[in-house]
Amino acid sequence: MQAPGSTLPSPDDRELVEGFARVVAVEPGRVWLEPEQTSSCGGCHSAGLCGVGSRNPKRLELRRFALGGDLGLQMGERVVVGIPETSLSRGALVAFGVPLVFLAAGGIAGQEFGRSDGLAFVGAVVGLAVGLLVSRVLASVMTARGQLTPRFLRRAYQPAQGASCSPDQG
């Protein structure tokens, strides 16, 4: 069992989703990392049009995260971080699934009791607001348990100076 908030890999984590990040700031007791531009999409010839292929520094800055503990990392260093696969799916369900369930329930209740589109709309909006609040509470519980915190796995492979290629190997 691991202490809540720990950023080290746990033996309980059967499968981790791994990603690359770069150290952008080092503070006493924690480091700030910026995830490398990755895309869930495989990419195509139109990648520049949908924004997947473009490197937006502001977007990456918003996704910066901190890792606690003395990890001995230097500025600019590339590391491999991971998060349990179950956390990702649970996070998606909490962030998107819970508000939608409340939205649908509120909308149906409004329609059934009021028999009008106006009340159904009000019910759906109220349901969405309640769902977002519930989602926020659940998300804070998951964060407090450290379920959504990426874990430091290892330093990423650094190509030798003057190497002709730099494979993205962990």
Partner 1 sequence: MEHYILLFISAALVSNVVLMRFLGLCSFMGVTTRVDTALGMGASTTFCITISAMIDWGIEYYLLEPYGLGYLRTVTFILVIAAAVQFTEATVRKVSPTMFQLLGIYLPLITTNCAVLGVNLLLVEGHMNFIESTLFALASSLGYSLVMVLFAGLRERLALADVPRLFAGPPIGFITASLLALAFMGFSGMSTN
Site residues for partner 1, 16-55, by CB under 8 A, read: 17, 35, 38-44, 49-52
Q: Which residues of 123-153 are buried (b: 16+ CB within 10 A; e: fewer)?
A: bbebbbebbeeebeebbeebeeebbbbbbbb
For partner 1, what does the binding mask look like between residues 57 and 96, x meaning CB under 8 A?
Answer: --x--xx-x-----------------x-x-xxx-xxxxxx
Rounded Cα distance, 169 and 42, in Å: 18
Please list the alpha-helical segments (H only) found in 51-145. 57-62, 85-92, 98-114, 117-144
105 binds partner 1 (CB under 8 A): no
DSSP, res 40: S
Q: Which is nearer to partner 1, 89 or 158 (CB)?
A: 89
Site residues for partner 1, 124-163, by CB under 8 A, read: 124, 132, 135-136, 139-140, 142-143, 148-150
Rounded Cα distance, 136 and 118, in Å: 27
8 binds partner 1 (CB under 8 A): no
Q: Shortest gap between Cβ of 76 and partner 1 (angstroms)?
A: 20
Q: Which residues pair with 18 in a beta bridge?
A: 82
State the distance between the two ends of the chain, measured CA to CA, in whole angstroms.
26
Q: Shortest gap between Cβ of 136 and partner 1 (angstroms)?
A: 5
Contact footprint for partner 1 (CB under 8 A): 17, 35, 38-44, 49-52, 59, 62-63, 65, 83, 85, 87-89, 91-97, 99-100, 103-104, 107-108, 110-111, 117, 120-121, 124, 132, 135-136, 139-140, 142-143, 148-150
